[in-house]
Chains A and B, each alone.
Chain A
Amino acid sequence: MTKEIVQLWELDAPPELVWQCLTDTNILSEWLMPNDFSPVVGHEFMFHTRPRPLPPFDGKVYCKVLEVVEGKKLSFSWKGGPGDGSISLDTIVSWTITPAGSRTNLLLEHKGFKGMKNYLAYFFMNVGWQKSIRRRLIETLKTYEATHAVN
């Protein structure tokens, strides 16, 4: 079960090229999505993809560059919603580059699916929905409240 997304990509390319692939708007369009990205902290940009019915998502990803460490790290916010102006998905994507000889380890972290980390763990790590789940729901709702209070 996935709570938040963490993937390690072992790439057969030097770190400089990987960094270029992450930060050059044209190359980024080739493999990720059409965008108006620029590696400048505070820069606001968008990705465009196909809409999705459930949960409703209009295919527009609203982003803002949060951190740029030249050649090493890049993070940006990743927000989306059904298209009525509301934002239901409020997450952060981070890339971390670690050189490995002539190759590169690229760490992807996509985090911040609100409250889900605590919420979903309880629901899906256990098979019995009806039996033990009620007690756990109480606990997880508390956790959810707590994480929201922090947010």
Chain B
Amino acid sequence: MKPRTQSIDPFSALADASRREVLRLLSHKTFTISDLAANFSISRPAVSKHIKLLEEAGFVKINEIGRERYCILSQDGFIAMQEWIDYFDSFWKLRKKKLESVIRARMTEHENS
């Protein structure tokens, strides 16, 4: 598995309506943090905090160009969500093998008794 830098649970990151709104806006175009903040009634520091969290969860990347900070979408967060499902898929496949060996042991025990 590729190393990832995000440290926030992507599911938690998407649980907030403001953060989903940030992603929706970024799906149209790249925004600076100030331009993004202009779209919200909450304070700019609050918006910054949401963006920071989205960045940590791998949904957003921030590029500094000159004095401006531009936000763009990143797919790492989405990949992390997929990996989480894949983890359970493999988890269950492995459990199936274990169950089969438990069953085999019990069937043999039964036949011999």
Size category, A interface: 35 or more
Stretch at the interface among A2-10, A34-42, A67-75: A2-10
Complex alpha-carbon distance, A132 and B51, angstroms = 23
A134 touches B28 (CB 8 A): yes
A32 touches B80 (CB 8 A): no
Q: Does B99 contact A (CB under 8 A)?
A: yes
A86 touches B12 (CB 8 A): yes
A123 touches B75 (CB 8 A): yes
Interface readout for A44-69 with B: 1 if CB under 8 Å, 0 if not?
A: 00000000101110000000000000
Closest Cβ of chain A to B42, distance in Å, is 18
A-B interface pairs (CB < 8 A), number: 110
Q: For residue A9, which residue of chain B has the nearest CB?
A: B96
B27 touches A2 (CB 8 A): no
A110 touches B88 (CB 8 A): yes
Complex alpha-carbon distance, A133 and B32, angstroms = 20
Q: Say which residue of A7, A55, A86 sits within 8 Å of B92 (CB atoms).
A: A7
Q: Does B53 contact A (CB under 8 A)?
A: no
A141 touches B82 (CB 8 A): no
CB-CB under 8 A for A120 and B82, given A31-B98, A137-B73: yes
B27 touches A134 (CB 8 A): yes
Q: Say which residue of B11, B14, B103 sits within 8 Å of A13 (CB atoms).
A: B103
25 A-B residue contacts at CB 8 Å? A2-B85, A3-B85, A4-B85, A5-B89, A7-B89, A11-B99, A11-B100, A12-B104, A12-B107, A17-B107, A21-B102, A30-B98, A31-B95, A31-B102, A52-B87, A55-B11, A81-B9, A86-B12, A88-B11, A88-B15, A119-B14, A119-B78, A124-B82, A133-B27, A144-B20
